[in-house]
Homo-oligomer: A and B are copies of this chain.
């Protein structure tokens, strides 16, 4: 099997895993169901991922890697810090509320070992928050914002941006808002931040 062929097969399998996960939930997302959906043999799944945990851990890592890559790309573009935030916010909110992200968060919540959650937190917030922090520090350096601790300022922004939206989506207590609503939320989060951290 050619080099690219295997990674392609893997992404097919992982797409199938997402499909089953979003449809049936973590507990009912059996390896067999995923294998059937991907027209793969479960032996292959076990060989490649070790088991259910390993498969979904891979999903978490891939997903957060994608988000981090996107954020780093955005942050590296030379723009005014607040413009960077204005561009970043809506997209980040979309990513965090996407069906995939919600499904992964549900999986982490369902995982009795807490292993998936750790991976999600480590790869997710622990990489996202510092990136946001850098942007905020950039804004402070230009006299656009004033704050003492970067961590607290980052927390504040994330709170304003995300709020309890994720938890309500993960518990199926709410539907995902429209893209416009999300964008509006992002802008009001930014204006709120600038008012609370005004120099």
Binding site for B on A (CB under 8 A): 24-28, 105-106, 108-112, 114, 116-118, 120-122, 124-125, 155-156, 158-160, 162-164, 166-168, 170-174, 192, 195-196
A192: min CB distance to chain B, Å? 6
User: Chain A's interface: helix, strand, loop or mixed, by majority?
Assistant: helix
Chain B residue numbers with a CB within 8 Å of A160 are 159-160
Counted per complex, copies of this chain come to: 2
Given contacts A163-B162, A196-B196, contact A112 B171 (CB under 8 A): no
CA–CA, A190 and B15, complex, Å: 44
- Nearest to A189 among chain B residues (CB) is B159
Chain B residue numbers with a CB within 8 Å of A166 are 164, 167
Q: A24-B112, A108-B171, A159-B163 are in contact. List 8 more A-B contacts (CB 8 A).
A: A106-B110, A109-B172, A117-B171, A124-B173, A158-B164, A162-B164, A164-B167, A167-B170
Judge whether A114 and B172 touch: CB under 8 Å.
Answer: yes
CA–CA, A159 and B163, complex, Å: 4
Judge whether A173 and B125 touch: CB under 8 Å.
Answer: yes
Judge whether A171 and B105 touch: CB under 8 Å.
Answer: yes
CA–CA, A159 and B196, complex, Å: 14
A120's partner among B108, B109, B173, B195 (CB-CB below 8 A) is: B173
9 pairs from A and B in contact (CB 8 Å cutoff): A25-B110, A105-B171, A111-B172, A117-B173, A121-B172, A155-B163, A162-B163, A164-B166, A166-B167
- Nearest to A192 among chain B residues (CB) is B196
CA–CA, A26 and B106, complex, Å: 12
CA–CA, A130 and B108, complex, Å: 31
Judge whether B106 and A172 touch: CB under 8 Å.
Answer: no
A6: min CB distance to chain B, Å? 31
Judge whether B171 and A164 touch: CB under 8 Å.
Answer: no
Chain B residue numbers with a CB within 8 Å of A159 are 159-160, 162-164
